[in-house]
Amino acid sequence: MKAVCWWGKTEVRVVDVPEPEILNPHDAIVRVTLTAICGSDLHLYDGYVPTMMRGDILGHEFMGEVVEVGEEVTNLRAGDRVIVPFPIACGRCWFCENRQWSLCDNTNPNAWMIESLMGYSGAGLFGYSHMYGGYAGGQAQYVRVPFADVSPLKIPDGLPDEKVLFLTDILPTGWMAAENCEIEAGDTVAVWGCGPVGLFAIRSAWMQGAGRVIAIDRFRERLRLAQSDGRTEIVDYSEVNVFDTLKEMTGGRGPDRCIDAVGMEAHGHFPDAVLDRVKQAMKLTFDRAHVLRQALHCCRKGGTVSIPGVYAGFVDKVPLGTAFGKGLTLKMGQTHVQNYTRMLLEKIMSGEIDPSFIITHRVSLDDAPEMYRTFRDKQDDCVKVVMRPAA
Amino acid sequence: MQTEKNVNIPERWASVLLGSALATYGLKSRSRGGFALSALGGVLAWRGATGHCMIYQALGISTNGEQRQGEQVSVPYGKGIRVEKAVTINASPESLYAFWRNFENLPRFMCNLEAVECHDSLRSHWVAAGPAGMSVDWEAEIINDIPNELIGWRSIDGSKVDNAGSVHFNALPDGRGTEVKVVLRYDPPAGLLGAAVSKLFGEDPAMQVQEDLRRLKMLVETGEIATTEGQPSGRKIA
């Protein structure tokens, strides 16, 4: 089968690889009908996530048709159409039972790698490096889905793939970003970054009762999409001072809730793998934590800063004194996708939201190498790339 | 493992005397090598004064036999390597005890154990994988057994490998599962057999036990052990 493989820094290849097989009793095999490149895949592409190996199959946003199930999977059968959340959850550990699916104890076979870095390991992820489990991803014609009895959600016939694909990651991620803000009626929510997660955070903030939403970016197409709901206000940070502008827009008070939907290029110190990348990564840290610092600075006293953007290593010069002085609440983490899929599917079916509005590029799997580059460089007004693996 | 005393009294005195002598000699010589000697002497003296040796700690060794008496281990304390690890499992002490009490289950999550065969309710035969395809085996007996609380076992006298272990099951409050704590001890024999035993416990015995316990947790909580072995990648071109 065809699969998009990581081949080293800024190189992906479409390679003919063997088809996946059932390895464990709770596995299923899914024939992928639609998959996407995620902004966080660019961290892998740019070589900032340690423990990637040449030949690893990429992709954690994918959906398709079940073709085979393991003996312990009783809720799915061949022919079912499913979306597959990106964190792999066992459904049985203490964390899963407490609905913290992305912190699952049992799905990362390489947990020791992350433990050496962070103390404890969360869930295994599809196509996201060996320290996150080393699972083959879904930018392929077929994919093995472990614990298929827990997370995949069946999609009714008649709903096009493009409307439901983003239930796998970015739509729930945008929703949880807003939820972590604990928005109260009349709140002003500021969202840094109008990529797919930021755009969904904006829509989610409105759905969760925000009084105003302000979007901050500099790419015209992204600001246009943010504004397309007719009520989100925009700030182009390349033209104005963000702090002054936000302060002025909010009567000198500051936004009540701030969302950092940018994050930074993930990086980390992994004992034997990345010493040579550390300097480069550290330099990046100084550059890219800018949004987090700015959000902490801009947020009103007693407000909330929610961080859906990915951080993976150490961040320097975070104004913790500011956060303390203003009594801020910080919430962050990988999305517990499984908590939101059913509810968001209903919103899609009722027409309350159509997530496909962010798609700018529809291509085949063979176009992956070019599309990674286009997306990374934000050329051609690229916001979201979806790929059809079928030949 | 903080700064427990792992050096015995005569050795501590020797350490202080030799260390002080080296430090004095080294400082007097006023050369680069002399300073290195005095530094070494300082470390030795410190080791003697505190009774804690970092090298022993790294090796998991203690020559101080006086400590840990009264702690419930099924193994007499002495020389050898000791490993202690714990994991929290979302299951009852009853089910975990029952699973472990049947030693034939152990190879399902202890990756270097090939097989355990129970002769009766107390005695069992253990086979472990060694280097170069050879295996090592021994007889073991249960010496401590409190249902749903703890199991202790040791290799019987005359075994090729002296080893012992115990597992403790501690119920946690408010549905937080059970803490499973394992203590293992073994005396590595010399030669090929020693190499086999070393392989059994891994290059890093603490890590080995930790990973075995992780597999136990996966197996008990989910019924399977997470793996990616056998999945496709671009390293295996079709």
Give A146 to chain B, closest Cα distance, Å: 8
At position B4, the amino acid (one-letter code) is E
Q: Give burial (CB, 10 Å; 0-12/13-18/19+) of A287.
A: exposed
Instruction: Please tell me the predicted confidence (pLDDT) of residue B7.
Output: 75
Helix or strand run (H / E) with residue B76: none
The residue ranges of DSSP E strands in chain A, in sequence order, are 2-6, 12-16, 28-37, 61-69, 81-84, 87-88, 124-125, 142-145, 153-154, 188-192, 212-217, 233-236, 257-260, 304-307, 329-332, 361-364, 385-388
Query: At residue A257, what are phi and psi to the nearest 5 degrees?
Result: -135, 135
Nearest CA in chain A to B217: A106
Residues of chain A contacting B226 with CB distance shorter than 8 Å:
24, 90, 106-109, 124, 133, 146
CA distance A50 to B149: 42
β-pairing verdict for A2-6 and A304-307: unpaired
Instruction: Please tell me the predicted confidence (pLDDT) of residue A313.
Output: 75
Tens of pLDDT along chain B (238 residues)?
Answer: 345 677 777 777 777 777 777 777 777 777 777 777 777 777 777 777 777 776 665 544 566 654 443 333 434 555 678 899 999 999 999 999 999 999 999 999 998 899 999 999 999 999 988 766 778 889 999 999 999 999 999 999 877 778 899 999 999 999 899 999 999 988 766 666 666 666 666 667 888 899 999 999 999 999 999 999 999 999 976 5
Instruction: Please tell me the predicted confidence (pLDDT) of residue A93.
Output: 98
Nearest CA in chain B to A8: B234
Residue numbers of chain A with a pLDDT score lower than 70: 264-288, 391
Instruction: Please tell me the predicted confidence (pLDDT) of residue A266.
Output: 33
- Reduced to 3 states (helix: H, G, I; strand: E, B; else coil), residue A379 is helix
Query: At residue B134, what are phi and psi to the nearest 5 degrees?
Result: -85, 160
Test mutation, A105, A113, A135, A147, chain B, max B CBs within 10 A: A105
Residues of chain B contacting A92 with CB distance shorter than 8 Å:
90, 221-222
Question: Are residues A226 and A199 in contact, defined by beta-carbon separation less than 8 angstroms?
Answer: yes
Question: Are residues B139 and B103 in contact, defined by beta-carbon separation less than 8 angstroms?
Answer: no
Nearest CA in chain A to B89: A93
Interface contact flag, B234 A144, Cβ < 8 Å: no
Instruction: Please tell me the predicted confidence (pLDDT) of residue B78.
Output: 59
CA distance A28 to A144: 6
Strand partners, A12: A6
Question: Are residues A337 and A169 in contact, defined by beta-carbon separation less than 8 angstroms?
Answer: yes
| Alpha carbons within 13 A on the beta-carbon side of A387 | 30
Instruction: Please tell me the predicted confidence (pLDDT) of residue B64.
Output: 67
Question: Are residues B116 and B98 in contact, defined by beta-carbon separation less than 8 angstroms?
Answer: no
A129 lies within 8 A of chain B by CB:
no
Instruction: Please tell me the predicted confidence (pLDDT) of residue A73.
Output: 98
Nearest C-alpha neighbor of A296 from the set A307, A285, A311, A287: A307
CA distance B67 to B32: 40
Of B210, B214, B238, the CB nearest to A17: B238
Give B203 to chain A, closest Cα distance, Å: 15
B190 lies within 8 A of chain A by CB:
no
Tokens representing B205 are 């015995």
CA distance A86 to A61: 6
Residue with tokens 């239930």: A167
Residues of chain A contacting B208 with CB distance shorter than 8 Å:
none
Residues of chain B contacting A389 with CB distance shorter than 8 Å:
none
| Alpha carbons within 13 A on the beta-carbon side of B197 | 20
Question: Are residues A307 and A293 in contact, defined by beta-carbon separation less than 8 angstroms?
Answer: no
Tokens representing B188 are 């590595």
Instruction: Please tell me the predicted confidence (pLDDT) of residue B182.
Output: 97
Q: Which of residues 255-314 of A touch B (CB under 8 A)?
A: none
Instruction: Please tell me the predicted confidence (pLDDT) of residue B54.
Output: 66
Give B52 to chain A, closest Cα distance, Å: 26
Q: Within A193-327, where are the H helices?
A: 196-207, 220-227, 242-249, 275-288, 290-298, 320-325
Interface contact flag, B225 A93, Cβ < 8 Å: no
Interface contact flag, A17 B234, Cβ < 8 Å: yes
Residues of chain B contacting A54 with CB distance shorter than 8 Å:
234-235
Query: At residue A297, what are phi and psi to the nearest 5 degrees?
Result: -70, -40
Sign of the Cα pseudo-torsion (A85, A91, A96, A97, in order): positive
Residue B45 DSSP label: H
Of B211, B224, B232, the CB nearest to A18: B232
Q: Give burial (CB, 10 Å; 0-12/13-18/19+) of A207.
A: middle
Of B226, B231, B237, the CB nearest to A16: B237
Residue B188 DSSP label: P
CA distance A4 to A364: 11
Residues of chain A contacting B210 with CB distance shorter than 8 Å:
112
Give B34 to chain A, closest Cα distance, Å: 35
Instruction: Please tell me the predicted confidence (pLDDT) of residue B4.
Output: 63
- Cβ-Cβ contacts under 8 Å for B163 (sequence gap 6 or more): B138, B140, B154, B155, B184, B185, B186, B187, B197
In residues, how long is chain B? 238
Interface contact flag, B233 A25, Cβ < 8 Å: no
Instruction: Please tell me the predicted confidence (pLDDT) of residue A287.
Output: 40
- Reduced to 3 states (helix: H, G, I; strand: E, B; else coil), residue B218 is helix
Question: Are residues A196 and A386 in contact, defined by beta-carbon separation less than 8 angstroms?
Answer: no
**Which domains occur in chain B, in start order?**
9-59 (no CATH), 81-222 (3.30.530.20)
A21 lies within 8 A of chain B by CB:
yes
**Which domains occur in chain A, in start order?**
2-169+336-388 (3.90.180.10), 171-332 (3.40.50.720)
Nearest CA in chain B to A90: B222
CA distance B30 to A289: 51
Give the Å distances, CA to CA, from A67 to A22, A31, A34, A143: 11, 6, 15, 10
Nearest CA in chain B to A146: B226
Strand partners, B135: B129
